[in-house]
Copies of this chain bind each other. A is one copy, B any other.
């Protein structure tokens, strides 16, 4: 318990919830790290995809980067509108569900949940890769480092939102500063003419295969967009006025993301960087720009930190989404409520556990997961924008047409991108996500049905009160005269006047002995001896209980089980579990209640 207090902090009372809100500066740090940090691998993914055709297509890096920057602005403007339309938090799940129906909502929710898990695994792994680029000695410990990072983020989040923000503000801004400085220095330096410009002119005619490769490179680069939707899920975490603050923060984020991504891609093109497995592209650019000096190491370290805390965006949003879905009874109710420190503790723990398992089972090499999560992101983008189109159409308020057109443009663009990603990335893993999403939707639907059916079955509406019981019989099955039996008899006598003990005979000597003991300690309770030709202990007891039930059809029977509780768990293995079997059986018997009167053993 004191460990919990030390790591997580003291419980926080319910009425302090509104003080735990974020300013814009802190909100940017908490909700942007996922989106911003993806610049660390976005450009690299584009280069890797283009290199499948040799160096001939590398000149397409900048055009692709520009397309992605345009995509960023379209998606951001769309989400800006969502934040204002849904001030209480409008994640894709809520928007899709309210405007398009249950199934689109569930699909959006499932996509997002899968993405959050992947984001944690991928960001942490990429962060460790940035670290091992600068310090190759650490390479062999990458799994342990990854899991340790996740545990750290989990603890930070279990302490509560505001504390989490505090921890993450400084390194996030330091990272932004490093990257912006790097781009600035890189642009000033000038450097030799880009080697790719020559290639571009050589390949004036594009074959179908090259087109496919370019589209796939674009799809790979779209991983940069993951995390933009985070802000819209977390509007309620901002200080009031929540929507205004969240909206402004989102615009800041979009501008920063666009500038950083374009700058890095431009420098990669100008320097003619070719990705290799032992060093990240960002590390190569920074090494060249800062000439391997202290600023290079600062860039690498802040990249690592920001990538690791990028996972934090998912830790802020996954539990919130899970809580929303649990409130709608699509997920287990344990995910619904706030813990001691006003955070959704169960969701945080589940996310951390699954992501750690992914990192361990992939041996710290989750590069293969990067293409996977673009599918889920763009599926939820599309559903969310489409939901907004429907939203404006239904309300038709002030300037609804303009808003609807903006969201329609967003929906259309992201839908096209979704199709491009699905087609070009199908074999590299998109199919896994296309299987996983329906599975999650199916399970959510089953959970929903169970809760509805349980609610119906437990409802008291129109229930007719059954009459009071007219009789109470108490039965104590005993296996010998022990201290546990003494306690059971004492308790039984306070319950009813009709108490009987029963004993299943095994051999005549033992039976005679227990009869004698009973006279001494039985307190006047009658002892029945039952015969058992097949050595079963349960059958005669159950038959006796049934007979007692039949004698008083309007009464109730209590079966008191004298038990002892061993002091160590493994001691349970050394004792017959007859009482447990009997309890399990009586659970389903109408008119019979079983009670244990436990005697605690000391050793």
Contacts and interface: CB of A to CB of B under 8 A. Distances in A.
B14 A533 contact: yes
A274 interface: no
A484 B469 contact: no
A459 B472 contact: no
Contacts of A463: 483, 486, 521
Nearest to A588: B600
A601 interface: yes
A432 interface: no
Nearest to A481: B460
B494 A472 contact: yes
A340 to B, nearest CB: 7
A543 interface: no
The interface centre, meaning the residue of A454, A463, A573 with most chain B CB atoms within 10 A of its CB, is A454
Contacts of A490: 465-466, 468-469
A447 B600 CA distance: 18
A144 to B, nearest CB: 27
A337 interface: yes
A535 B337 CA distance: 9
B602 A457 contact: yes
A139 interface: no
B484 A458 contact: yes
Contacts of A497: none
Contacts of A565: 587-588
A590 to B, nearest CB: 8
A603 to B, nearest CB: 5
Interface residues of A, number: 66
Interface stretch (A63-71, A294-302, A401-409, A591-599): A591-599
Interface in A515-542: 517, 521, 523, 533-536
A483 to B, nearest CB: 5
A278 interface: no
- Of A11, A482, A593, most B-chain CB atoms within 10 Å: A593
Nearest to A587: B598
Nearest to A471: B494
Most central of A564, A575, A588 by chain B CB within 10 Å: A575
Q: Which of A450, A523, A536, A603 has the most CB of B within 10 A?
A: A450
A593 B459 CA distance: 28
A180 interface: no
Contact of A494 (B469, B482, B486): B469
A100 interface: no
Nearest to A555: B494
A491 interface: yes
Contacts of A534: 11, 13-14, 340
Nearest to A603: B453
Interface string A555-599: 010100000111000010111100000000001100001111111
Contact of A535 (B14, B483, B588): B14
A491 B593 contact: yes
Given A13-B533, A332-B574, A466-B490, A460 B472 contact: no
A338 interface: yes
A491 B495 CA distance: 11
Contacts of A457: 483, 564, 601-603
Nearest to A490: B466
A454 B564 contact: yes
A560 to B, nearest CB: 9
A289 to B, nearest CB: 51
Nearest to A458: B482
Interface string A408-439: 00000000000000000000000000000000
A601 to B, nearest CB: 5
A333 interface: yes
A597 B333 CA distance: 22
B597 A595 contact: no
Contacts of A337: 535
Interface string A447-481: 10011011001111001011011001000000001
A596 B595 CA distance: 8
Interface in A292-338: 332-334, 337-338
Given A11-B534, A558-B595, 7 more contacts: A332-B573, A338-B535, A450-B566, A460-B517, A465-B523, A466-B490, A491-B556
Query: Sorted from nearest, which 3 A-B pairs have the closest CB atoms?
Result: A458-B482, A469-B494, A595-B595
15 contacts: A13-B533, A13-B534, A453-B601, A453-B603, A454-B571, A454-B601, A458-B564, A458-B599, A460-B485, A460-B486, A463-B483, A468-B494, A495-B495, A587-B600, A593-B597
